[in-house]
Amino acid sequence: MNIGVISTRLAGTDGVSLESAKIVAIAEQFGHKVFYCAGELDPELKKRGLEDGRLHFEDEVAKELHDRAFVEKETAVTLLPDIEKRAAELKRPLRQFLTEYQIEYVIIQNAFAIPMQLPLAQALTELMAELKLPGLAHNHDFYWERPRFLDSQIEPFLDQFFPPNLPSLSHATINSLAQTALKERRGLDSIVIPNVFDFHTPPPGIDNFNADFRQAIGLAGEDWLILQPTRVIPRKGIELSIELLHQLGDSRAKLVITHKAGDEGMDYLHELQALAEAKNVALIYAGEAVDDQRRMAGNQKIYSLWDAYPHADLVTYPSFIEGFGNALIETVYFKLPAVVNRYPVYAADIGPLGFQFAEIDGEITLETVETVRGWLERPETAVAATTHNYEFGQQHFSYQTLAALLAPLFKQS
């Protein structure tokens, strides 16, 4: 059948785009054709879909409606008619996409979960109901998980469309905590789709392009590359990584941040840089040298995140909050030792499975420091843990796991 993937953005390395691509891979394994519709599409996806900027969460009308709802806290009486008017306008490109590509099943990527694009959710709900179109809502983060969405005058609207209750719509959450909350709040059943990797394909290593990565970011041969493969936002807890290196007290240890800052402003990066300097920690911000895909920018190499992993000696993942933990499963895939903060979803869905990480509970302990020191000074001592983790990753977070979860939805009769 023809499957349509619909979202606000399907581009870059955000979690929604990455996990969407994995579901598409499974759908295609089952023999389906996949097409795309969003406010922004990666260049390759544009060849099989419709890009319309009005669907983006950064669309000016969407941003205005969002601010009226959650910043100005406007009343429903005056706000909802404008949302409905815009929803009617958005139905046109959506209907065009569904018609042009003869879509028989839709996968809604997070547009029914986080209320960044209020009219899009209404437009999709009404279209699906009108057309009796079956689909799957892949819900990554619900409005009730974000404090800024909890104080508004449109809560009944949010409960109607984020996500909607439609007979033809199945739901997926990305962790068991969200699954429980969806059932308790809305009475909706869902399956849990965790972050997965293609564990049966070996991870890429060092090649001609990335062989000079360490040198390019300023590391010497004896340095330890401590990789922080996350966005630079406060909930990632990067100050704990700095504290780890501070307590480690070894000049060979260099903390490398790979993602560009700016998603939530630059203040946090500047705070981290000041903290690192105060604690005598070598912090390398490599966000300008790393992007979602490797390429040449003039005479300068731009590396991908997967160019960084093969050079890393340790990964730090000290997040306070995560929807699941894509970078953590990525770390398992690349067979690297890791320090992990026991954020709620990790404690519920990952930790109990038996992975072997250096776990912390919001603070760096002497035991953690000595474990890390052992791994860095004697890398062979980490092999047993990383091999064990890879095997567990194959068992719990592989494409085969995802295929088994999606088979009831995607298998052709």
Q: Is residue 25 part of a domain?
A: yes
Co-location of 217 and 179 in the same domain:
no
Return the HEC string of 180-239.
HHHHHHHCCCCEECCCCECCCCCCCCCCCCCCCHHHHCCCCCCCEEEEECCCCCHHHCHH
Q: Which CATH number does the domain housing residue 338 bear?
A: 3.40.50.2000
Co-location of 385 and 404 in the same domain:
no
Co-location of 77 and 110 in the same domain:
yes
Number of domains present in the structure of the chain: 2
Q: Is residue 340 part of a domain?
A: yes
CB 238 within 8 A of CB 228: yes
Compute the distance between CA of residue 27 and CA of residue 280 in angstroms, rounded to an integer.
50
Co-location of 102 and 186 in the same domain:
yes
The token duo for 230 is 């996350």
Compute the distance between CA of residue 143 and CA of residue 366 in angstroms, rounded to an integer.
38
Closest to 322 (Cα-Cα) out of 230, 408, 390: 230
Q: Is residue 331 part of a domain?
A: yes
CB 184 within 8 A of CB 289: no
CB 323 within 8 A of CB 15: yes
pLDDT, residue 413, reads: 34
Co-location of 382 and 283 in the same domain:
yes
Co-location of 258 and 174 in the same domain:
no
Co-location of 140 and 251 in the same domain:
no
Q: What predicted TM-score, i.e. pTM, was given to this entire model?
A: 0.90
The token duo for 326 is 């894509």
Q: Is residue 152 part of a domain?
A: yes
Instruction: At 52, give phi and psi (nearest 5°).
Output: -140, 115
CB 5 within 8 A of CB 24: yes
CB 410 within 8 A of CB 34: no
Q: Is residue 206 part of a domain?
A: no
Compute the distance between CA of residue 333 and CA of residue 390 in angstroms, rounded to an integer.
6
Amino acid found at 203: P
Closest to 276 (Cα-Cα) out of 250, 249, 243: 243
Q: Is residue 202 part of a domain?
A: no
Compute the distance between CA of residue 222 and CA of residue 66 in angstroms, rounded to an integer.
50
Q: Is residue 208 part of a domain?
A: no
Write b or e for each residue in 336-349: b if 16 or more Cβ atoms lie within 10 A of its Cβ, otherwise e: bbbbbbbbebbeeb
pLDDT, residue 263, reads: 77
- Which residues are within 8 A (CB) of 399 and not within 5 positions of it... i.e. 6 or more apart? 22, 25, 26, 196, 197, 198, 199, 200
pLDDT in tens, the chain (413 residues): 999 999 999 997 677 898 999 999 999 999 999 999 999 999 999 999 999 999 999 999 999 999 999 999 999 999 999 999 999 999 999 999 999 999 999 999 999 999 999 999 999 999 999 999 999 999 999 999 999 999 999 999 999 999 999 999 999 999 999 999 999 999 999 999 999 999 989 999 999 999 999 999 999 999 999 999 999 999 999 999 999 999 999 999 999 999 989 878 899 999 999 999 999 999 999 999 998 889 999 999 999 999 999 999 999 999 999 989 989 999 999 999 999 999 999 999 999 999 999 999 999 999 999 999 999 999 999 999 999 999 999 999 999 999 999 999 887 53
- For residue 60, what are the CA distances in angstroms to 39, 117, 124, 318? 12, 10, 19, 35
In the beta sheet, which residues pair with residue 34? 3
Co-location of 318 and 334 in the same domain:
yes
Co-location of 65 and 117 in the same domain:
yes
Residue 42, SS3? coil
Co-location of 117 and 252 in the same domain:
no
Compute the distance between CA of residue 361 and CA of residue 342 in angstroms, rounded to an integer.
6
pLDDT, residue 262, reads: 87
Co-location of 285 and 383 in the same domain:
yes
Compute the distance between CA of residue 157 and CA of residue 74 in angstroms, rounded to an integer.
13
Identify each DSSP E strand in 164-208 by its residue range: 169-173, 191-192
Co-location of 183 and 260 in the same domain:
no
Q: Is residue 47 part of a domain?
A: yes
Q: What is the separation, in whole angstroms, between the first and last Cα of the chain? A: 11
Neighbours of 207 (CB within 10 A): 10
Domain that holds residue 111: 2-196+399-410
